């Protein structure tokens, strides 16, 4: 039987961030509630409307940040994993 996967340690953050869509257009404000080396939990008004892939950055500059894939959505929160 395979060993259970260990979740990476998450750091509580509560920091403002920006989500960019469509190659840098349509920046949306969010709050990164917690973060790890593999992903983050974000909070925003329209979590249900997020596309499957987005960019998450701590500045409004679309050239910075992490490319992410949405892995879950619940109310105003969503979980993303960082992809390369």
- Residue-wise pLDDT for 17-42, tens only, equals 999 886 666 789 999 999 999 999 99
Terminal C-alpha separation, the chain:
30
Point out which residues pair with 66 in neighbouring strands. 56
- Backbone φ and ψ for 76, nearest 5 degrees, come out as -95, 10
pLDDT score, position 60: 78
CA angle at 57 for the pair 33 and 81, rounded to the nearest 5°: 60
Confidence category of residue 84, pLDDT binned at 50, 70, 90: confident
CB atoms within 10 A of CB 71: 11
pLDDT per position as a tens digit, 42-64: 999 988 888 999 999 998 776 78
């Amino acid at each position: 039987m395979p060993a259970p996967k260990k979740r990476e340690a998450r750091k509580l953050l509560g920091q403002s961030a920006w989500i960019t869509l469509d190659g840098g257009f349509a920046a949306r404000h969010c709050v990164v509630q917690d973060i790890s080396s593999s992903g983050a939990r974000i909070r925003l008004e329209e979590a249900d409307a997020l596309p499957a892939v987005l960019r998450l950055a701590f500045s409004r500059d679309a050239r910075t940040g992490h490319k992410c894939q949405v892995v879950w959505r619940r109310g105003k929160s969503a979980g993303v994993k960082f992809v390369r």
